[in-house]
């Protein structure tokens, strides 16, 4: 492992300089001839370093200085900006500079493959319609500075990204989506229906947040960095493979099949999402407005749910999620939590620089694809298609929850959210559903956050082979209003009225088709008669800078012994 690297150079002002790498940082120093301490021109953690490139020379220029370009994301407070510096290397130091370039690139990327081949899909009308300019002004300069080979394509109509994903050659290292969650949904569904779907889904997807709903970015980067464009670009460049589960959602009686990476919802959560389409200009705030609007109606969801429950102990599920957070490894990268769709994109600091290939070997990717040795993967050796969907056949071991179509016979509970310590002290499991309660909403998810102000599934674990399900019973409006204050922290998890299960399969039936004609899959609406959900474990991939979802405050808490 490299612990220290120095390279003497000539700076742009003709003064002597030193490039030094130590303790995981690159420092560009301007040396003084009078004994004063050196002046630091650039300091960058190697995690943010993008590229070093030593220009080639022609035979007649061998005795001339060689140009060395350094590209990095400079960090100040929580803000990242692209910086390009160039220095000169004297002929006597060229051999040393070649080794220095190889070594710093190796130290900066480790087992991550540099110069990734990126398919960049851009929805030019996504979010506030600024995606195209953000890609031009911020995204492309960073990807190009890292030496990525980018195939940029703009979508022109709904489901265009799905069409592209169905037809592409599988020679990309990553598929980046500049939009909201909708483009991720389209890409996943395009890859999942291919005859070589299992191989196609090995290509990781990396979202760049230029849409109005960016739940994937919240789960990857956290609430404060959801809209951090440079950070999302760094994820495209250096992110590690994060295997995730997909849900196959079969709609009956049409036998239409869609794939979900995020959520499925009925009741209030449908109104919250689809019912606020006209409020997209508000950004995340539209979901809070939709929730309050839904609380006023408080009309509930007339449905019959059948859940293949694997776990229903809230205290134990919380402990497992927190244990997972404690043992996970990786260094958090911070940046600016600014929404460019609201505040605009600040001018990037670009100080010269050239393009070209860097002097570094291809180290390959750091993650071995799913193997036949894992008995939980339903592995197909030829990387063939995902098996055909069939209606599920629930038996007596499944939990049945039925929301009455008439006035409920059970008085709703009115408690507020409790702490883990209080819950752990209870001797009984209060997660049991009581027949006669009415369902306000059903919400199934595979990532913790649904929105920046809603950590709906706080104990969700990436790729655990389970679907996190919330069934919220109808309660007095004041109870739900009070719960909003802790929703971003996941505290609603402890509500008695919020029934929480980890399941492996779901069947949902509509008992009031006239008044609730649709449900949603990943925020997209579909007609609802009944739907069946089965899970495909770790079959798709995202990119994450530390190989996991962002650890929320909820899972970083340590319960008292």
DSSP conformational letter for 392: -
Q: Is the Cβ–Cβ distance between 244 and 463 less than 8 Å?
A: yes
Torsion, Cα 256 261 264 270, to 10 degrees, reads -110
Banded pLDDT at 434 (limits 50, 70, 90): confident
Q: Is the pLDDT of residue 548 over 50?
A: yes
Each residue's pLDDT tens digit, 50-109? 999 999 876 666 678 999 999 999 988 778 999 999 999 999 999 999 999 999 999 999
User: What does the pLDDT read at residue 356?
Assistant: 37
Count how many residues are written for the chain: 561
Helix (H) or strand (E) holding 503: strand 498-510
Q: Which CATH class is domain 6-109?
A: mainly beta
User: What does the pLDDT read at residue 499?
Assistant: 96
Is residue 556 exposed (0-12), middle (13-18) or buried (19+ Cβ within 10 Å)?
Answer: exposed
**Residue of 69, 77, 137, 181 with catalytic role:** 181
Query: Cα separation of 14 and 188, whole Å?
Result: 52
Q: Is the pLDDT of residue 350 over 60?
A: no
The rounded Cα 488 to chain-centroid distance in angstroms is 17
Mean predicted confidence (pLDDT) in 110-128: 92
- Percent with pLDDT over 70 in the chain: 79
Query: Cα separation of 491 and 451, whole Å?
Result: 14
Is residue 204 exposed (0-12), middle (13-18) or buried (19+ Cβ within 10 Å)?
Answer: buried
- Percent with pLDDT over 90 in the chain: 65
Sorted by where each begins, the domain ranges of the chain are 6-109, 252-318+389-536
CA distances from 191 to 250, 384, 552 (A): 17, 12, 30
Note if 374 is an active site residue.
Answer: no
Is residue 209 exposed (0-12), middle (13-18) or buried (19+ Cβ within 10 Å)?
Answer: buried
User: What does the pLDDT read at residue 405?
Assistant: 73
Q: Is the pLDDT of residue 213 over 90?
A: no
User: What does the pLDDT read at residue 155?
Assistant: 97
Phi, psi dihedrals of residue 411, rounded to the nearest 5°? -70, 125
Q: What is the mean pLDDT of the chain?
A: 84
Rg of the chain over all Cα atoms, to the nearest angstrom? 26
CATH number of this structure's domain 252-318+389-536: 2.60.200.40
Mean predicted confidence (pLDDT) in 410-428: 44
Lowest mean pLDDT among 93-97, 284-288, 337-341, 358-362: 358-362
Q: Is the pLDDT of residue 489 over 50?
A: yes
Each residue's pLDDT tens digit, 353-368? 333 334 333 334 443 3
As given in the structure block, the two tokens for residue 263 are 């959520």
pTM: 0.87
Each residue's pLDDT tens digit, 147-178? 999 999 999 999 999 999 999 999 999 999 99
Phi, psi dihedrals of residue 97, rounded to the nearest 5°? -65, -35
More confident residue, 385 or 300: 385
Mean predicted confidence (pLDDT) in 458-472: 96
Query: Cα separation of 434 and 410, whole Å?
Result: 8
Q: Residue written as tokens 């750091």?
A: 366
Q: Which residues pair with 472 in a beta bridge?
A: 441, 498
More confident residue, 62 or 325: 325
């Amino acid at each position: 492992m490299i612990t220290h690297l120095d390279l003497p150079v000539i700076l742009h002002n003709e003064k002597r300089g030193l490039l030094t790498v130590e303790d995981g940082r690159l420092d560009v120093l301007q040396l003084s001839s009078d004994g004063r301490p050196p002046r630091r021109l650039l300091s960058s953690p190697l995690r943010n370093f993008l590229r070093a490139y030593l220009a080639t020379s022609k035979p007649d220029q061998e005795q001339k200085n060689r140009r060395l370009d350094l590209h990095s994301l400079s960090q100040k407070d929580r803000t990242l900006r692209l910086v390009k510096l160039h220095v000169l290397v004297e002929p006597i130091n060229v051999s040393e500079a070649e080794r220095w370039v190889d070594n710093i690139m190796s130290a900066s990327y480790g087992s991550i493959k540099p110069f990734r081949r990126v398919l960049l899909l851009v929805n030019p009308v996504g979010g506030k319609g600024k995606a195209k300019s953000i890609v031009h002004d911020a995204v492309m300069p960073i990807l190009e500075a890292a030496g990525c080979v980018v195939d940029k394509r703009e979508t022109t109509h709904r489901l265009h990204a799905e069409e592209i994903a169905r037809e592409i050659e599988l020679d990309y290292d990553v598929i980046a989506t500049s939009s909201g969650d909708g483009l991720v949904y389209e890409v996943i569904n395009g890859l999942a229906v291919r005859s070589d779907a299992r191989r196609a889904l090995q290509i990781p997807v990396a979202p760049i947040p230029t849409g109005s709903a960016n739940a994937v970015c919240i789960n990857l980067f956290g609430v404060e960095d959801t809209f951090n464009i440079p950070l999302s670009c760094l994820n495209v460049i250096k992110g590690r493979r994060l295997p995730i589960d997909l849900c196959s959602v079969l709609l009956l009686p049409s036998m239409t099949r869609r794939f979900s990476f995020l959520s499925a919802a009925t009741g209030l959560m449908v109104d919250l999402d689809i019912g606020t389409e006209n409020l997209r200009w508000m950004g995340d705030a539209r979901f809070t407005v939709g929730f309050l609007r839904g609380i006023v109606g408080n009309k509930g969801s007339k449905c019959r749910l059948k859940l293949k429950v694997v776990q229903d102990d809230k205290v134990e599920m919380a402990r497992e999620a927190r244990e997972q957070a404690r043992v996970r490894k990786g260094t958090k990268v911070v940046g600016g939590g600014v929404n460019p769709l609201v505040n605009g994109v600040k001018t990037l600091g670009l100080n010269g620089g050239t393009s070209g290939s860097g002097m570094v070997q291809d180290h390959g990717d750091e993650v071995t694809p799913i193997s036949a040795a894992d008995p939980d993967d339903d592995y197909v050796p030829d990387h063939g298609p995902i098996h055909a969907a069939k209606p599920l056949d629930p038996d007596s071991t499944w939990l049945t929850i039925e929301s009455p179509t008439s006035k409920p016979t059970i008085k709703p509970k009115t408690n507020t959210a409790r702490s883990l310590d209080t819950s752990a002290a209870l001797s009984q499991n209060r997660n049991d559903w009581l027949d006669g309660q009415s369902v306000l909403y059903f919400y199934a998810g595979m990532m913790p956050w649904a929105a920046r102000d809603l950590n709906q599934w706080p104990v969700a674990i990436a790729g655990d082979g389970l679907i996190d399900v919330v069934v919220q019973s109808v309660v007095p409006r004041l109870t739900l209003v009070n719960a909003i204050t802790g929703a971003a922290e996941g505290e609603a998890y402890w509500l008695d009225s919020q029934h929480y299960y980890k399941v492996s399969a779901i069947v949902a039936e509509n008992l009031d088709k006239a008044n609730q004609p649709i449900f949603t899959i990943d925020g997209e609406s579909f007609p609802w008669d009944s739907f069946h959900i089965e899970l495909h474990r770790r079959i798709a991939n995202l990119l994450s800078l530390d190989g996991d979802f962002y650890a929320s405050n909820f899972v970083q808490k340590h319960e008292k012994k």
